[in-house]
Amino acid sequence: MDFKQIKANLKKDFSGFKTIKVAILADSATQYLTQAIRGMAYEKKLNIEVWEAEYDAIDITVSDADSELYSFKPDFTIIFLSPYKLKKKFYKNGSSSDFAENSVEHLKQISSTVSSHMNTNFLVFNVPDAFDAIFGNFSGKVTSSFSYQQKKMNMELMNWAQNDAAVSLVDLCGLQALHGAMNTFDSRLYINSDVIFNFDFIITVADNLIQVIEAFSGFAKKCLILDLDNTLWGGIIGDDGIDNIQIGDLGIGKAFTEIQLWAKALKERGIILAVCSKNDEANAKEPFEKHPDMVLHTDDIAVFVANWSNKNDNIKYIQSVLNIGFDSMVFIDDNPFERNIVRTYLPDVCVPELPEDPSEYLTYLNKLNLFETNAYTDEDKERTLLYKAEALRNSASLSYTSEVDFLKSLDMVCETKSFNSFTIPRVAQLTQRSNQFNLRTKRYTDEDVKRMNGDHDKYHTFSFTLADKYGSHGLIGMIILEKKDDGDLFVDTWIMSCRVLKRGMEQFMLNEIMEYARKHKIDNIAGEYIETKKNGMVRNHYKSLGFTAKGGLWYGDVNSYQPKTCYIRNSN
């Protein structure tokens, strides 16, 4: 996309798109970045409203309690300090060796002031190269060089982000390294307009920002579906045999090894891996089990499908096992015909247009940044095991004619407890990523969840961890109850993982909150359903649980409530 297309998009109708508010606080010109964010968001069916602070007026803006920033109430606040202005300030102030700490401390003060007026997620740009060569290569040994301070500032920014849940870094340094520093800067544009990057790179930065915003807004990709022949290895396993496929550290085999390393790292991060291949299953699995140079093994694959059916049908099967949205999936295949078939029949699945040359696969995929995330928890590391166990459950269910008998056979146990320091990151992640079984689709950060969990007079929190004879599902549900002035309890948030649907978990969760209400002499629990494009599956949630509609809410009578039948034991 170029600025001509971006400007054309800005004239189009954004009505019906999800609206997200973004504020930009910068010390340089950002009008082109604003246009790029708005215009590119149209392609993602997002209406991103952008408010810009006055040029180079960050401190004045945030310190003014009547600033338009606070009335705008952005969901995200971008903070961008120009590396060139930082360098100018550095030299004017005498090349201080504590410049990095002071600069980051200033950013912390800005975020603290903004946070005292409103809740927002901060997207802070790290500091890309400003082409300083005063000390040349020796700068790494001189703490008072700008090059040293610039790198140190980026370390300080990472330390800040690690300790402040409201702060996320936008990796301009990484983007600049990927595209080449000389390809990101236009000296004449900078001198004449104080625009830091050239137009092409501004588009790249805008795209990256939108990916971060999408991850916060529940649009993150969760599953990588892989073809095999000429995608994970060179050659055709059924024709060439295991000894003749290309993989390893020699020749073109290195390209396929790097793709496998990329997929393995994604799996360790929590991305679900699946295989979708036109092959005999025994032939397809043989390299995973026997080839000494394979990086990926069958234990890394949550769902392995190798047959001669259409790939779009097989992807539908994978989706049914994983129970995630098609828009959460990425399908990688070297064959243009197969890619186009999947795009035609499953348009929500992301299907990258791989280059013809396998040596270019990884560079291309890295540029796409398909798996942006805003959270990472210990449970993410075990995600593949969770889904492999779910596949076993689905297979076992086929041997039962009675759903009740199957549920009884699972020997399910649930641990229910309030949020704690271990579960808060996962709970926040659920609010940010869950779209389907999500009654109100409110997104919360770690800090939001901590705040509510600590306010015992107003909120009560429940986390639910489910296990059965096949293993643990992990933390699969959460409820936040808010005590209202009229004495009723309001269900602020009710989220459940779709992988435990039809297990009776929603009945179990209702029994738990009704028992809590009864013990605290609460007469009613009120719930609300706010419709989105993705949560239609819970449209009748409260109705099916026996709640009564009144004034836009659903009410459950605590005193007359009879516990719902379910086949889950409470571990408490």
Where are the strands (E) in 423-527, listed by range? Answer: 459-468, 471-483, 489-496, 524-527
| Cα distance between residue 479 and residue 464, in whole Å | 9
The DSSP call for residue 243 is T
Say what the pLDDT of residue 324 is.
86
Q: What would the pLDDT profile of 22-54 be if each residue is shown by its tens digit? A: 999 999 999 999 999 999 999 989 999 999 999
Say what the pLDDT of residue 315 is.
97
Say what the pLDDT of residue 323 is.
82
Say what the pLDDT of residue 95 is.
77
Question: Domain 400-570 adopts which CATH fold?
Answer: Aminopeptidase (3.40.630)
| Cα distance between residue 235 and residue 253, in whole Å | 10
The number of angstroms, rounded, from the C-alpha of 490 to the middle of its chain's C-alpha atoms is 28
Cα end-to-end span (Å), the chain: 56
Say what the pLDDT of residue 301 is.
94
Say what the pLDDT of residue 97 is.
85
Say what the pLDDT of residue 417 is.
94
Say what the pLDDT of residue 545 is.
95
Q: Which of 449, 452, 312 is nearest to 375 (CA)?
A: 449
Say what the pLDDT of residue 263 is.
97
Residue ranges of domains in the chain: 3-216, 223-368, 400-570
Residue 350: count of CB within 10 angstroms of its CB? 19
Say what the pLDDT of residue 472 is.
87
- In which residue ranges of the chain is pLDDT below 50? none
The tokens describing 527, both together, are: 């719930």
Q: Read out DSSP for 89-136?
A: HHHHTT--TTHHHHHHHHHHHHHHHHHTT---EEEEE--------SSG
What does R_g of the chain's alpha carbons equal in angstroms?
A: 26
Q: Do domains 3-216 and 400-570 have the same CATH topology?
A: no
Say what the pLDDT of residue 232 is.
96
- Superfamily grouping for domain 3-216: SGNH hydrolase (3.40.50.1110)
3 state SS of 415 = strand
- Superfamily grouping for domain 223-368: HAD superfamily/HAD-like (3.40.50.1000)
| Residue 163, CA distances (Å) to 30, 77, 108, 374, 455 in order | 28, 18, 11, 14, 21
Say what the pLDDT of residue 329 is.
96
